[in-house]
Amino acid sequence: MYRIAFIDGDGIGPEISRATRLVLDALNSMLGIGMRLVDVEAGDAALARYGRALPEESLDAIMGSDACIKAPIGESAADVIVYLRRLLDLYANIRPVKAYPGMRALSDGIDMVIVRENTEDVYSGLEYDIGSDASIAIKVTTRRACMRIAEHAFRIARKRRRNGRRSVVAVHKANLLRRTDGLFARCCRDVASRYPDVRFSEMYVDACAMHLIRRPEEFDVIVTMNMYGDILSDEAAQIAGSLGAAPSANIGESYAIFEPAHGSAPDIAGKGIANPLSLILSSGMMYEWLAGRYGDERCARASALIEACVRSILSKGIMTPDMGGRSGTMDVAHAIVEELGHTGGVG
Ligand code: ATP
């Protein structure tokens, strides 16, 4: 029996969580997967209720689970997800970006994975005022973190077979940030030399932002530093059709948290039109991770089924307004469950 901590989140969080739970329940009962979703309170609602965005009890529940599914959190996100990423050493932030049929993507062939270092960089929280008119932020970069994120990216690239080609591009700004980004670039080159079957190249982050728009279908795996990855993955998600369909995973050695790449979208909260695909596809990544960790064939099937059903409903035009459709959040969830029924559990 898997114990999965489930954080409903803020803003559109509870709406897309409800949709995702419906899909998970249908999948688990169809495939006979023993999974208990444990409700965990965290975020703005928890802060208002208990005075802490991540109460002790919630942290205990997360520590006692196999993995966590987390909907977006509002203003207190840093106190929850940034804290958990560091506490649990979830060093790899994996953000797949894919254009499914029916999506308004810049190019039909978009299918890439952004592998973002998740623990260092200017997000380390080392910001200081110098007097009243100047401030500095420290960009932390260590060989250990660079080596392991590069390793992770090459391992992912090796598993992918896209157009018969496997490639990793390391994105940085080592021409200006010679020490920090320079160390990252050197580590990527080091790791690349051990993967002769994976094509390796480097790109400056500004050029990458441009090429993502000019020829997005040519990217396979991008490995990059924390802040560049944060920015480029939002850009890439929108290029593929919508940020509302963008999943992500925070992976460590023995634990992982799966969450949408987007925020709590307060502008559309409560309207029933939020796109639940980001959280549903994040759950698909969770099944894939469980499959790899426990050698569980049924979880591998669950992951493949989510992917197939999402592809199928989108090709029929069942999508929320952010993707150009007219369906509501729960319409999408019900359509996926119906689609699951048609597959008979064969992914
Ligand atoms: P954060 O800083 O936490 O990333 P943000 O306010 O910058 O938050 P988001 O909350 O991600 O950004 O929202 C950006 C835009 O994308 C908003 O217009 C929002 O409505 C839209 N959006 C985000 N997620 C979804 C979704 N699941 N469905 C539909 N629209 C979404």
- Over the stretch 60-71, which tens digit does the pLDDT of each residue have? 999 999 999 999
Is the same domain home to 235 and 250? Answer: no
Is the same domain home to 168 and 74? Answer: no
**pLDDT confidence tier of residue 347, bands split at 50, 70 and 90:** low
Region 134-141 average pLDDT: 96
Q: What's at 327, amino acid-wise?
A: S
Q: Which of the residue ranges 118-127, 148-157, 258-267 would you say has the lowest mean pLDDT?
A: 118-127
Is the same domain home to 120 and 221? Answer: yes
Q: Write out residues with Cβ below 6 Å of ligand 1.
A: 12, 77, 243-244, 262-265, 267-268, 274-275, 278, 320, 322
101 within domain boundaries = no
Q: What are phi and psi of 176, to 5 degrees?
A: -105, -45
252 within domain boundaries = yes
Annotated catalytic residue 123? yes
Choose the catalytic residue: 89, 190, 234, 296: 234
Q: What's at 238, amino acid-wise?
A: Q
The residue among 239, 255, 288 that closes a domain is: 239
Is the same domain home to 165 and 70? Answer: no
In a 10 Å sphere around its CB, with 0-12 CB exposed, 13-18 middle and 19+ buried, how is residue 13 labelled? buried
Q: Which domain holds residue 190?
A: 106-239
Residue-level pLDDT at 70? 98
Q: How many CA atoms lie within 13 A of 96 on its CB side?
A: 22
304 within domain boundaries = yes
Alpha-carbon span 289 to 293, nearest angstrom? 6
pLDDT tens profile 293-330: 999 999 999 999 999 999 999 999 999 999 999 999 99
**pLDDT confidence tier of residue 162, bands split at 50, 70 and 90:** low
Is the same domain home to 139 and 256? Answer: no
Residue with the smallest CA separation from ligand 1 atom 5 is 263
Residue with the smallest CA separation from ligand 1 atom 9 is 263
Annotated catalytic residue 234? yes
Q: What are phi and psi of 78, to 5 degrees?
A: -60, -35
Is the same domain home to 232 and 245? Answer: no
Residue-level pLDDT at 343? 80
In a 10 Å sphere around its CB, with 0-12 CB exposed, 13-18 middle and 19+ buried, how is residue 136 labelled? exposed
* CATH number of the domain that residue 211 is part of: 3.40.718.10
Residue-level pLDDT at 346? 60
204 within domain boundaries = yes
112 within domain boundaries = yes
Q: How far does the centroid of ligand 1 lie from the alpha carbon of residue 21, in Å?
A: 21
**pLDDT confidence tier of residue 7, bands split at 50, 70 and 90:** very high
Alpha-carbon span 164 to 289, nearest angstrom? 24
Average pLDDT, the chain: 94
Alpha-carbon span 168 to 154, nearest angstrom? 7
Q: Which of the residue ranges 33-42, 52-61, 239-248 would you say has the lowest mean pLDDT?
A: 239-248
**Would you state the structure tokens that stand for residue 242, as one six-digit string?**
């919508």
> Are the beta carbons of 85 and 149 closer than 8 angstroms?
no
Is the same domain home to 163 and 263? Answer: no
Q: How far does the centroid of ligand 1 lie from the alpha carbon of residue 233, in Å?
A: 13
What are the angstrom distances between the C-alpha of 262 and each of 26, 66, 234, 265, 272? 25, 23, 8, 8, 17
Is the same domain home to 121 and 216? Answer: yes
Q: How far does the centroid of ligand 1 lie from the alpha carbon of residue 105, in Å?
A: 18
Q: How far does the centroid of ligand 1 lie from the alpha carbon of residue 245, in Å?
A: 11
The residue among 184, 215, 239 that closes a domain is: 239
Alpha-carbon span 101 to 209, nearest angstrom? 24
Residue-level pLDDT at 102? 84
The residue among 239, 257, 285 that closes a domain is: 239
Is the same domain home to 193 and 164? Answer: yes
Is the same domain home to 262 and 302? Answer: yes
Annotated catalytic residue 39? no
Q: How many CA atoms lie within 13 A of 225 on its CB side?
A: 28
Q: What's at 193, amino acid-wise?
A: S
Cα-based torsion angle of the residue sequence 29, 32, 38, 39 in order, rounded to the nearest 10 degrees: -20
Task: Map tokens 């008979």 to a residue.
Answer: 344
Secondary structure percentages of the chain, helix, strand, coil, to 5: 50, 20, 35
Q: Which ligand 1 atom is the nearest neighbour of the CA of 72?
A: 3
164 within domain boundaries = yes
Strand order in the sheet with 167-172: 35-39, 2-7, 67-70, 256-260, 247-251, 92-98, 111-117, 221-224, 167-172, 199-204
- Give all strands (DSSP E) within the chain, no chain letters: 2-7, 35-39, 67-70, 92-98, 111-117, 127-130, 134-137, 167-172, 199-204, 221-224, 247-251, 256-260
Choose the catalytic residue: 139, 173, 255, 331: 173
Is the same domain home to 199 and 279? Answer: no
pLDDT tens profile 220-262: 999 999 999 999 999 999 999 888 999 999 999 999 999 999 9
Ligand 1 site-directed mutation target among 103, 262, 275, most atoms within 8 Å of CB: 262
Is the same domain home to 84 and 57? Answer: yes
pLDDT tens profile 261-287: 999 999 999 999 999 999 999 999 999
Annotated catalytic residue 108? no
Annotated catalytic residue 230? yes
Question: What is the distance of C-alpha 206 from the center of its chain?
Answer: 22
320 within domain boundaries = yes
% of the chain exceeding 70 in pLDDT: 98
Q: How far does the centroid of ligand 1 lie from the alpha carbon of residue 41, in Å?
A: 21
Handedness of CA 232, 235, 239, 244 (dihedral sign): positive
| Count of domains forming the chain | 2
